């Protein structure tokens, strides 16, 4: 999740409109510029060596899903060390001058409520799915309410 800092819009003094000293649209242009610049900077900046991941969970497991098209299974490495899940992959691309290799890396902080010894990873059709099972004590339990 990305947090965008909101700034109070600029209040510009404009000529009187219908007897009002301030325009109701004052600062709108500045706010629109700020919105587009903060949003589009992510798309304009080079992606670097990170890739997008989806994180979701159900009552038994947490999942990390990454789309890695064009990467062979042998070039994917998954490690869980000191509370961080590290995903790395190498993509080989054929160019006119030969073959070029790109390294992709991503580290994700995982909670202690997961069973590190039972982590499983599967790669199918360009999608890597890492399954992180939850410990029994961290799973939600239904508690019945007794009537006195």
Q: How do residues 77-117 score in pLDDT, each as one tens digit?
A: 999 888 889 999 998 888 888 888 888 888 888 888 888 88
For residue 64, what is the domain's CATH number?
2.60.40.790
131-146: burial string, b at 16+ Cβ within 10 Å, e else: ebbbeeeeeeeeeeee
**pLDDT tens by residue, 69-79:** 888 899 999 99
Report whether pLDDT(45) > 60. Answer: no
pTM, entire model = 0.60
118-128, pLDDT tens digit by residue? Answer: 899 999 988 99
Sheet with 84-95: list strands edge to edge: 76-81, 84-95, 98-109
* 123 and 106 inside one domain: yes
Q: How confident is the model at residue 42 (pLDDT cuts 50, 70, 90)?
A: low
**Domain housing 37:** 13-44
Over 50: is that where the pLDDT of 46 sits? Answer: no
- 20 and 65: one domain? no
Give the C-alpha separation, 142 to 147, whole Å. Answer: 16
- Does a structural domain hold residue 4? no
Q: Do 36 and 108 sit in the same domain of this protein?
A: no
Q: Are strands 13-17 and 98-109 parallel, antiparallel or unpaired?
A: unpaired
């Amino acid at each position: 999740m990305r947090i965008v800092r909101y700034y109070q819009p600029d209040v510009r003094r404009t000529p009187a409109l219908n007897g009002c000293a301030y325009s109701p649209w004052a600062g709108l242009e500045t706010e629109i510029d700020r919105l587009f610049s903060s949003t589009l900077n992510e798309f304009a900046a080079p992606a670097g060596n990170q890739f997008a991941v989806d994180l979701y969970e159900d009552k038994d497991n947490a999942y990390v899903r990454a789309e890695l098209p064009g990467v062979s299974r042998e070039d994917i490495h998954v490690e869980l060390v000191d509370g961080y899940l590290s995903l790395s992959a190498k993509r080989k691309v054929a160019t006119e001058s030969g073959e070029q290799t790109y390294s992709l890396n991503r580290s994700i902080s995982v909670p202690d409520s997961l069973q590190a010894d039972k982590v499983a990873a599967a790669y199918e059709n360009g999608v890597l799915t890492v399954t992180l099972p939850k410990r029994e004590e961290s799973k939600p339990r239904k508690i019945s309410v007794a009537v006195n």
